Structure 1
């Protein structure tokens, strides 16, 4: 646990008692603060009270009297489409609003660091797609290199739930736009921006607000090194703002598909090969084609991001290459879950938006595509240029019929359920084809989250292939 600093003897309100909320309450208490907790769920309040915490309705008169700060969970809106009523009340009263990420950055460094030989570092990863894979890959490389490391944030443990830093340790944090948008302190040593595509637009009032939330990690955090994906205009804009010029190697530009040879430091992948360039010269190269845990161009971008981050931390290219080959990948992200008679079954349930689905569809030559769920604004018409590899689509969930109208001449079947989609795709698939779950939609019509959807796909596959 990271005891929260700066609130000793003060009241701090905590709104939302999920994983991060309870971890925040414990860390505040450990740092000498008096946490006042609230959640609309009676079950969540009962769980907190069972740990000895006081629950206080933060909307009652005088609830914020003497409160130094309100800490809110990331899933609770604080601005758009409308602020939660408790947060709105805090803002009216001038009570600072923060989240666990802000508390982490103000509390991570301690006096114990004075005795360390090497200062601990924090690497933060944000972006629309690939954050989790990039975060896990950086963590894996560091472990292979023998560096002490912990992984937390939007993946794994809550940030305040990790152990205090050890000598030379590297903490790797995946941060969503919800987390970067509100944190009052953001001071990573290395910050990574993977890419940007439309997502969570209601929460950020459009693409501009969404990009601004991501950009805070760099503009306000002042990292020593910035790794920036430049395959979209927003990334190129941000890299240009952060760098003093093209030769400024504090900014490492990364790309999947474009040569980046004219910069002080760049890492890019083309035709399955990763290349590192510094000051106009190639200094390293890795063949990614046989790295089974990182299939497709989108994963090659993740590899570039992780490579750049770990090179910025002083890890040697050959060691990184070896770590790539021992990386098993993450569940629900281009995850191979079975194979029968030359047909592979791949779970990419995390492909909840059009951009992620497009990248999955480009990763394999012949695809039996399972898609659908709770469709997002704009539908999937933008996927039409990427459907050339789709032999047939098997559409499920609430948006199945809407999706059928948006995929042109692509052969398709309305299956409604995962069970039927897997059974039909498995029965029709030929050797050399891939049965791919890449929904291009949220899961909430049939599943509580994308993980449960992916687990159902995996279970159905195993039942089919034995």
Structure 2
């Protein structure tokens, strides 16, 4: 646990008592503050009461009269599409609003660090797609290199649940736009921007607000180094704003769309080869094509970002390459779950938007595509340009027929995962990939994308076992 600094003796309100909210309450109490908790869900309030936290209805008049700050959980809107009424009441009362990420950055460093030989550092990763894999990959490389490291944020543990820093430790944080948008302190040593595509637009008031939320990771605290994907206009703009000169190696540009030239520090992947260039000269190269845990151009972008971070942390290319080859991949993200009869089965349930699904479709040569679910804003037309490798689509979800009508490939309405897996396996031939890449949210049929991926995995394994007579 990281005790929160700066609030000793103060009453701090906490809105939302999920994982991050309860962790914030514990850390505030450990730092000498008095947490005052509220959640609309009675079960969440009851769970907080079992830990002896004070419960107070923050919607009542005068609730913020003696409150020093309000800590808000990520899922609660503070501006768009409309502020939560309790957040609005706090702002009208002049009470500062923050989240657990802001508390972490103000509390991570302590006086004990004076005894360390090497200062701990924080790597923070944001972007629309690939941030989970990039974060996990950096963490994996550091562990394989024997470096002390922890992984937290939008993946793994909550930031305030981390253990106190060790000498030379590197903490890797995955941060969503919901987390970066509100945090009052954002001071990573290395900040990573993977890419940008439309997502969460209602929460941020459009693409401009969405990009602004991501950009805060770079503008609020000024990281020592910035690793920036420049395959979209927003990334190009951000890299240009962060660099003082064309040769400024505090900015490492990454790409999977083109070779990056110029006098700066560049890492890019083309035709399956990762290349590092510094001052216009090649410094290293890695063949990514045989690394099973990182299939496709989208994972090659993740590899470029992780490689750049680890080079900035002082690791040698050969050390990074060895760790890349041992990376097992993350569940639900281009995860190979089985191979049988020449057919590969891949669980990419995390591909919940059009852009991430398009990246998955580009990663395999002949695809039996399981897709569908709760459609997001913008429709599916952009996917059709990336469906050249799709032999057939098998559509799930409550609105499967409407989803299928937007696809320019042969599509079968299956509705359920069980039916989709059955039909895809019946049609599959050696060399095919049965790919779950829904391009939609899961909430019409599942609690979350993990549950959807687990269902796909269970259905595939059960049918393979039946075919094997087990």
Which bin holds the TM-score, normalised by the shorter protein?
over 0.9
| Equivalences for residues 86-105 of structure 1 within 5 A | 86-105=86-105
Question: Residues of 2 paired with 1:369 and 1:221: CA distance?
Answer: 43
For 1:39-92, what per-residue CA distance to the aligned partner results, in whole angstroms no more than 9, with x for missing partners?
A: 000000000000111110001122212110000000000000011111010011
Question: Residues of 2 paired with 1:229 and 1:52: CA distance?
Answer: 46
For 1:4-40, what per-residue CA distance to the aligned partner results, in whole angstroms no more than 9, with x for missing partners?
A: 0000000000000000000000000000000000000
Q: CA deviation at 1:263?
A: 3.6
Question: Residues of 1 paired with 2:275 and 2:202: CA distance?
Answer: 38
Q: CA deviation at 1:399?
A: 3.4
Query: Matched residue of 2:391: which SS?
Result: strand
| Equivalences for residues 60-79 of structure 1 within 5 A | 60-79=60-79
Corresponding residue of 1:454: 453
Question: Residues of 1 paired with 2:401 and 2:232: CA distance?
Answer: 31
Q: CA deviation at 1:220?
A: 1.1
Corresponding residue of 1:395: 395
Query: Matched residue of 1:221: which SS?
Result: coil
| Equivalences for residues 374-393 of structure 1 within 5 A | 374-393=374-393
Q: CA deviation at 1:418?
A: 0.4
Corresponding residue of 1:364: 364
Mark the runs of 5 or more structure 2 residues left unpaired by the alignment: 466-470
Q: CA deviation at 1:245?
A: 2.3
Q: Which runs of 4+ in 1 moved over 2 A?
A: none
| Equivalences for residues 416-427 of structure 1 within 5 A | 416-427=415-426
| Equivalences for residues 309-458 of structure 1 within 5 A | 309-408=309-408, 410-458=409-457
Q: CA deviation at 1:221?
A: 2.0
Q: CA deviation at 1:355?
A: 0.3
Query: Matched residue of 2:227: which SS?
Result: strand
TM-score (norm 1): 0.99
Q: CA deviation at 1:261?
A: 2.0
Q: Say whether the 8 Å CA contact 1:80–1:202 is kept in structure 2.
A: yes
Corresponding residue of 2:122: 122
Corresponding residue of 2:468: none
Q: Say whether the 8 Å CA contact 1:227–1:251 is kept in structure 2.
A: yes
Query: Matched residue of 1:67: which SS?
Result: coil
| Equivalences for residues 160-179 of structure 1 within 5 A | 160-179=160-179
Corresponding residue of 1:10: 10
Q: Say whether the 8 Å CA contact 1:144–1:323 is kept in structure 2.
A: yes
Corresponding residue of 1:259: 259
How much is the aligned-residue C-alpha RMSD, in angstroms? 0.6
Q: Say whether the 8 Å CA contact 1:10–1:33 is kept in structure 2.
A: yes
Greater mean alpha carbon deviation, residues 244-253 or residues 355-364: 244-253
Q: CA deviation at 1:379?
A: 1.4
Corresponding residue of 2:139: 139
Q: CA deviation at 1:172?
A: 0.3
Q: CA deviation at 1:264?
A: 1.0
Question: Residues of 2 paired with 1:61 and 1:359: CA distance?
Answer: 50
Question: Residues of 2 paired with 1:243 and 1:48: CA distance?
Answer: 46
Q: CA deviation at 1:257?
A: 2.6
Q: CA deviation at 1:378?
A: 1.6
Q: CA deviation at 1:403?
A: 2.2
Q: Say whether the 8 Å CA contact 1:132–1:174 is kept in structure 2.
A: yes
Query: Matched residue of 2:143: which SS?
Result: helix
Q: Say whether the 8 Å CA contact 1:257–1:271 is kept in structure 2.
A: no
Q: Does residue 206 of the first structure (1) align with residue 206 of the second (2)?
A: yes
Corresponding residue of 2:148: 148
Query: Matched residue of 1:197: which SS?
Result: coil
Q: CA deviation at 1:262?
A: 1.1
Q: Say whether the 8 Å CA contact 1:186–1:217 is kept in structure 2.
A: yes
Q: CA deviation at 1:398?
A: 2.8
Query: Matched residue of 1:168: which SS?
Result: coil
Q: CA deviation at 1:294?
A: 0.3
Q: CA deviation at 1:239?
A: 0.4
For 1:245-300, what per-residue CA distance to the aligned partner results, in whole angstroms no more than 9, with x for missing partners?
A: 22111100000131002141010000000000000000000000011100000000
Figure out how many residues of one structure are paired with residues of the other and give that number: 465
Q: CA deviation at 1:204?
A: 0.2
For 1:222-262, what per-residue CA distance to the aligned partner results, in whole angstroms no more than 9, with x for missing partners?
A: 00000000000100011011111221111000001310021
Query: Matched residue of 2:61: which SS?
Result: coil
Query: Matched residue of 2:68: which SS?
Result: strand
Q: Say whether the 8 Å CA contact 1:126–1:214 is kept in structure 2.
A: yes
Q: CA deviation at 1:126?
A: 0.1
Question: Residues of 2 paired with 1:200 and 1:420: CA distance?
Answer: 30
Query: Matched residue of 1:82: which SS?
Result: coil
For 1:378-420, what per-residue CA distance to the aligned partner results, in whole angstroms no more than 9, with x for missing partners?
A: 2111011111100000011033222222212x11100001000
Corresponding residue of 1:295: 295
Question: Residues of 2 paired with 1:344 and 1:441: CA distance?
Answer: 22
Q: CA deviation at 1:340?
A: 1.3
Mark the runs of 5 or more structure 1 residues left unpaired by the alignment: none
Q: Say whether the 8 Å CA contact 1:375–1:398 is kept in structure 2.
A: no
Query: Matched residue of 2:138: which SS?
Result: helix
Query: Matched residue of 2:125: which SS?
Result: strand
